Amino acid sequence: MESAPKDLAGRVVIITGAGQGIGRVYAEHFGAAGSKVVVAEINKENGEQAAKAINDAGGTAIAVPTDVTSEDSVKALAETVMDTYGGIQVLINNAAMSSVVKSRLIEETPLEDWDAFVRVNVNGTFLCSRAVVPIMRKAKWGRIINISSAGVNMGMGKLLNYVTSKAAIIGFTRGLAREVGPDGITTNAVLPGPVFTEIAREAETAAFKELLVTRQSIPRKEVAEDLVGTVMFLSSDASEFLTGQSVTVDGGLTHL
Amino acid sequence: MNGLKGRVAIITGAGQGIGRSYAQHFAEAGAIPVIVDVNFDSAKAVEKEIRETGGDCLAVAADISNEEQVAALVEQTLGTYGRIDVLLNNAALFSSLTARPVLEIPLDEWRSVMEVNITGQFICARAVLPHMIERKWGRIINISSGTVTMGLPWLLHYVTSKAAVVGMTRSLAREVGEHGVTVNVILPGSTQTEIERSTTTPEVRQKIVDMQCIKRTETPDDLARVALFLASDDSGFVTGQSIAVDGGLTHL
């Protein structure tokens, strides 16, 4: 983005899973927009590298090692951010189990595997949102952006754990929007398509992704940068009256 | 917002209400709105307002359901500015319609709603597309309505016409995506403008606000800022999508 929304400068933006992949691209763009970026990342080294890259480029960022499935860890994240920056304006619930998803039939899916997806993708979004809502309520302003998936619109088979967890995010977004709307907080979901990042996915082979590209309205590979404009818009003042919504950003592959 | 400066945006129904607000916001963002209205005097008045604030714009009289008039609109726009970057299909029959049950809707009225609200958007999109395709860049923003998601009774023709716009948006997006043109649709909620509507009493308005997540009346500004996003470079990979901008009243 050549020029991000101006009101993002100075805002404290927590991005979970920002140590790599799409999350890291969000972090870098918010850093360039003058936001105070919080890289909340389970992989300490990746998180520190991402924060360093933003600071080296003249931005402001801290890395906070965070396990979004741990109540204590998420609580510590919110405390660290408040101590460091004194506020939290934007939360991007990006951390998720996705690249490790294995393509398999329902009868071959172990309960432990299912539970892991619910724990990270659903409970993680709940815990992080619950930790920041009181702070946003007090400030009468907040933006929560949850990352779902165009896989929900498609209803992909053999990825039941992943697709179900991402569908839950849409219900969560709608319900939470009603709870926090009166306090100036909006909550929206972004549904990315098959994004090509540096991370190889077990289930989504390159061949499968390339097949999907041919079915998009815009027939080129989606990259992380394609999501940035929408996520920044949803973080800005301009989207003030948009809440509880699901915005699909997949080059017109699917619709909700 | 990225890349709006100098872009030419045809905005239909821009002589009053929400359309007028779109024109003002586009001008503020440095774009050049072409203010289209069936009522030339009102289009001229908006043109005057924008010019007084230093913005460039052009008022054109056109009935969007008339092929020749829309062709003339496109010709005049290209003749004046040499480009068309954005089409905002906002013109529609709405405030003049009487809310009434299905058995009381005259066929003539039904037909005129379809002609303006559906066919009008088709005629305008078809007229600007050859130029957008040639330049490999374009943004078409259609206006639907939150009444579609609600399934609002007593305005069957209006709600039906606005549902059609969602289908048109999805299919058209697939046809023109490879040419750098995106097509999206906004579903506004109950928006307060200067236009009086007999059915929207203060009590009705309050009831709607109570059902929203955000407890205040929707204004045209709320919609204009989303329209600017959909007209910008930032939304380049968003296409075929329906965006409800209604303070969280409905979801598609």
Question: What is the DSSP code string of B2-41?
Answer: TT-TT-EEEEETTTSHHHHHHHHHHHHTT-EEEEEESSHH
Residue A24 has pLDDT above 60, yes or no: yes
Residue B237 has its nearest CB partner, among A186, A218, A233, at: A218
Residue B215 has pLDDT above 90, yes or no: yes
Under 8 Å between Cβ of A136 and A88: yes
Model confidence pLDDT, tens digit, residues A171-215: 999 999 999 999 999 999 999 999 988 877 666 777 888 899 999
The percent of residues in chain A predicted with pLDDT above 90, rounded, is 88
Model confidence pLDDT, tens digit, residues A105-154: 999 999 999 999 999 999 999 999 999 999 999 999 999 999 999 999 99
Are the beta carbons of B177 and A252 separated by less than 8 Å?
Answer: yes
Closest CA to B221 of B29, B8, B10, B80: B29
Please give the DSSP secondary-structure letter assigned to residue A39: E
Q: Is B158 a catalytic residue?
A: yes
Specify the pLDDT at position A210. Answer: 86
SS3 B183: strand
Work out whether strand B242-245 and strand B32-37 pair parallel, antiparallel, or are unpaired: unpaired
In angstroms, what separates the C-alpha of B223 from chain A's closest C-alpha?
8
Model confidence pLDDT, tens digit, residues B237-248: 999 999 999 999
Long-range contacts of B167-170 (CB under 8 A, 24+ apart): B168/B118, B168/B121, B168/B122, B168/B142, B169/B142, B169/B144, B169/B240, B169/B241, B169/B242, B170/A252, B170/A255, B170/B240
d(CA A195, CA A220): 11
Q: What is the ipTM of this complex?
A: 0.91
Model confidence pLDDT, tens digit, residues A47-61: 999 999 999 999 999
**What average pLDDT is seen over chain A?**
95
In angstroms, what separates the C-alpha of B30 from chain A's closest C-alpha?
14
Specify the pLDDT at position B186. Answer: 98
Residue B33 has pLDDT above 70, yes or no: yes
Consecutive H or E run containing B94: none
Give alpha helix (H) positions in chain A.
21-32, 44-56, 71-85, 111-117, 124-139, 150-154, 160-180, 206-214, 225-235
Residue B59 has pLDDT above 80, yes or no: yes
Which amino acid appears at position B148 of this protein?
V
β-partners of residue A12 are A36
When mean pLDDT is compared across A31-40, A91-100, B86-95, the lowest value belongs to A91-100
Under the banding of pLDDT at 50, 70 and 90, the label for residue A1 is low
Closest Cα in chain A to B183: A252
Are the beta carbons of B251 and A174 separated by less than 8 Å?
Answer: yes
Domains and CATH numbers, chain A: 6-241 (3.40.50.720)
Can you tell me the mean pLDDT for B128-155?
97
Q: Which residues of A touch B225 (CB under 8 A)?
A: 237-240
Sign of the alpha-carbon torsion through A45, A197, A246, A37: positive
Residue A99 has pLDDT above 80, yes or no: no
Under 8 Å between Cβ of B230 and B184: yes
Please tell me if residue A3 touches chain B, with a CB cutoff of 8 Å.
Answer: yes
Residue A2 has pLDDT above 60, yes or no: no
Specify the pLDDT at position A3. Answer: 66
pTM of the model: 0.94
Closest CA to B117 of B139, B145, B98, B140: B145
Which residue in the list B26, B94, B137, B158 is annotated as catalytic?
A: B158
Closest Cα in chain A to B187: A242
- Chosen for mutation from A144, A170, A218 (greatest number of chain B CBs closer than 10 Å) is A218
In angstroms, what separates the C-alpha of A232 from chain B's closest C-alpha?
9
